[in-house]
Structure 1
Amino acid sequence: MSVIQIQQVSRWYGNVVAVNDVTMTIGPGVTGLLGPNGAGKSTLITMMAGFLPPSVGAVTLDGVPVWRHEAAYRHIGLVPETEAVYDTLNGGQFVRANAELQGLPDPGAAAAAAIDVVAMADAADRRISTYSKGMKQRIKMAAALVHQPSVLLLDEPFNGMDPRQRLHLMELLRQMGAEGRTVLFSSHILEEVQQVATHIEVVVSGRHAASGDFRTIRRLMTDRPHLYRIRSSDDRRLAAALIGHAATSGVQLEGPAIHVQVTDFENFSRLLPGLARELGIRLWEVSPTDESLESVFSYLVGGRA
């Protein structure tokens, strides 16, 4: 099992600060790296892969700096966002070339196995110039997996993939995470991150904004209300009882439901069932309306923009 540690890392280009004093730990399992365009995600991934040194701080793999450390590279697979492929080669040749660069004893067999993993065997003999963007993403994935790395870094890997390809990649990432590999991927497709990642790191304007699963991040945001939708046997009486309570900051009747802004989640979780029992009101639905990763991400970005 491999662990990447980023310790007080900054990276700047001239007067532009791309990453600013970021500290995080990426361990076994699947981690989603989130952030708006220009947040520093690609810079962080490039430094984790050892292709770019930090201006300040350290990036290590199992305690060893990855910059200019050949032994560390043998444990890392990188799928860059850019289409870094040779169009004049066919898919099989491209993956085999990466196997040979890794010094594998049987590069042909290793390439064939990696191509099978990404379901590209039928197109392995075609020139890469004929591939769709989704196919190029998959052949890059095969090249990154050819030496069976313990760490896999993917920058926007879902770009250009059709729904079937995305589902296949999602399942592949889950499988590798379950095997104990350290997998990190960035993506703007928040629903897919929510479905695949067991851990989330959020960067905004080059800074580390939050860490955890999306519900944990949401719970930590005590400066913003939680939003709930409630349906009951007597919405008006229940709404009247909730108004003005210290655990809520707003109550609104909308159609057949009450929409409540909650400022004290723990207090509210005890208050609501007690009130319903006291008033003889049945609760039919109590559901959060802002617990999606997209909502959490919007809050985090908005709070720091």
Structure 2
Amino acid sequence: MTELVLEKVSRWYGNVVAVNDVTMTVGPGVTGLLGPNGAGKSTLIAMMSGFLAPSSGEVRLGEVPVWRNVAAYRDLGLVPEREVSFSYLTGRQFVQASAELHKLRDVRAATRRTLELVDLVDAADRPISTYSKGMRQRAKLGSALVHEPQVLLLDEPFNGVDPRQRIHLMELLTRMGEEGRTVLFSSHILEEVEQIARHIEVVVSGRHAASGDFGAIRRLMTDRPSRYVVRTSDDRRMAAALMGRESVRGVTLGRVGTGEAITVEVTEMGQFTLELPRLAREAGITVRELVPSDESLESVFTYLVQS
């Protein structure tokens, strides 16, 4: 029971609609929930974790509703964005309290194992009030992981985490995804999502804007041309040959990165990939490099927000 299903889920506060008719399925592996600040990501995670009731629609863990279902918490772990309220506790006490709430058979062993997992053993007996932001984040993660949930939800988990801790956390989430657990984390920082989550769910202004592999999502955006960088043995002649082709919207010749290259805006990718080698062969030109220049998650996100 590791699949989260949201079916026509909405949440409003008075006249303010935070989430509007979202349907999505989050399965095993690492999924990035992407959107700008205020897009509704935190509200969605709160509903997924059973801490907030949908105003309409339903959130299920497998076939079981999450809201008002205490048994579902055994399979869920939540790392909220908000700070730890019980900062007077030590890291060990904080993680152990979660183990006791879940009525684990060996609370001390579970606490010890989890502190090792989140790299907090050395600071385990210090009050959380003395922790750095990154250490507090790891304490929250430990509390969410102590009962070994099959589904882990994290709200902006990389905020305030230093580079070393960021790498450790990314490796941990990746490993959990590879083990078959369902891991979903929200972020408004594009490179965070791109590094560890090939599958993304994009939320913009409370609405579900896109779902899937970010490269595949980009290729479906046929109303906006793809952009490629082409380097050849004769860029000027190649650029002239490409101009006026039906599959090409625009051609620019100039410096790209460390050298000269052709930037081509393509409206029909399939047709372009057939035409380019044919034109090069007819002109006696060698194509040395052909790479997409806008396949990054940033390009996808910018397009979706602007739409």
**TM tier, shorter chain?**
over 0.9
Give the distance between the partners of 1:143 and 1:198, measured in 2 at CA: 27
- For 1:274, the equivalent position in structure 2 comes to 278
Q: What is the percent sequence identity of the aligned residues?
A: 67
1:165-207 deviation line (CA, Å, top 9, x unaligned): 0000000001000000000001123212111013100000000
Instruction: Please tell me the residue identity of whatever aligns with 1:55.
Output: S
Deviation at 1:117, TM superposition (A): 0.3
1:31-60 deviation line (CA, Å, top 9, x unaligned): 000000110000000000000011110100
| Contact 1:3/1:27 (<8 A) preserved | yes
- For 1:47, the equivalent position in structure 2 comes to 47
**TM-score for both structures, normalised by structure 2:** 0.97
Instruction: Please tell me the residue identity of whatever aligns with 1:161.
Output: V
- For 2:266, the equivalent position in structure 1 comes to 262
- For 1:107, the equivalent position in structure 2 comes to 107
| Contact 1:49/1:153 (<8 A) preserved | yes
- For 1:26, the equivalent position in structure 2 comes to 26
Give the distance between the partners of 1:235 and 1:45, measured in 2 at CA: 50
- For 1:133, the equivalent position in structure 2 comes to 133
Give the distance between the partners of 1:188 and 1:199, measured in 2 at CA: 15
Summarize the alignment of residues 276-291 of structure 1 with structure 2, pairs less than 5 Å apart.
Answer: 276-291=280-295
- For 1:9, the equivalent position in structure 2 comes to 9
Deviation at 1:109, TM superposition (A): 1.2
| Contact 2:6/2:59 (<8 A) preserved | yes
**RMSD between aligned alpha carbons?**
0.9
Choose which of 279, 299, 303 in structure 1 pairs with 2:303.
299
1:226-280 deviation line (CA, Å, top 9, x unaligned): 1111111111111111111111111111132111101111111111111111111
- For 1:65, the equivalent position in structure 2 comes to 65
Give the distance between the partners of 1:12 and 1:244, measured in 2 at CA: 51
Instruction: Please tell me the residue identity of whatever aligns with 1:293.
Output: L
**TM-score for both structures, normalised by structure 1:** 0.98
Give the distance between the partners of 1:301 and 1:29, measured in 2 at CA: 26
Instruction: Please tell me the residue identity of whatever aligns with 2:195.
Output: Q
| SS of equivalent residue, structure 1 residue 124 | coil
| SS of equivalent residue, structure 2 residue 195 | helix
**Which shows bigger deviation, 127-136 or 276-285?**
276-285
Give the distance between the partners of 1:157 and 1:221, measured in 2 at CA: 30
- For 2:123, the equivalent position in structure 1 comes to 123
Give the distance between the partners of 1:279 and 1:19, measured in 2 at CA: 55
| Contact 1:85/1:140 (<8 A) preserved | no
Instruction: Please tell me the residue identity of whatever aligns with 1:206.
Output: G
Give the distance between the partners of 1:168 and 1:188, measured in 2 at CA: 20
**Which shows bigger deviation, 131-140 or 265-274?**
265-274
Deviation at 1:106, TM superposition (A): 1.4
**Alignment size in residue pairs:** 303
Instruction: Please tell me the residue identity of whatever aligns with 1:177.
Output: G
Instruction: Please tell me the residue identity of whatever aligns with 2:301.
Output: F
1:137-171 deviation line (CA, Å, top 9, x unaligned): 00000000000000000000000100000000000
Q: Which ranges of structure 2 fall in alignment gaps of 5 or more residues?
A: none
- For 2:220, the equivalent position in structure 1 comes to 220
| Contact 1:34/1:186 (<8 A) preserved | yes
Give the distance between the partners of 2:122 and 2:23, measured in 1 at CA: 43
| Contact 1:29/1:198 (<8 A) preserved | no
Give the distance between the partners of 1:193 and 1:103, measured in 2 at CA: 34
Instruction: Please tell me the residue identity of whatever aligns with 2:31.
Output: T
| Contact 1:34/1:188 (<8 A) preserved | yes
- For 1:193, the equivalent position in structure 2 comes to 193
| SS of equivalent residue, structure 2 residue 54 | coil
| Contact 1:85/1:94 (<8 A) preserved | no
1:45-102 deviation line (CA, Å, top 9, x unaligned): 0000000011110100011110010111110000000013411100000000011011
- For 1:182, the equivalent position in structure 2 comes to 182
Summarize the alignment of residues 144-155 of structure 1 with structure 2, pairs less than 5 Å apart.
Answer: 144-155=144-155
Instruction: Please tell me the residue identity of whatever aligns with 2:169.
Output: L
| SS of equivalent residue, structure 2 residue 122 | helix
- For 1:166, the equivalent position in structure 2 comes to 166
Q: Which ranges of structure 1 fall in alignment gaps of 5 or more residues?
A: none
| SS of equivalent residue, structure 1 residue 32 | strand
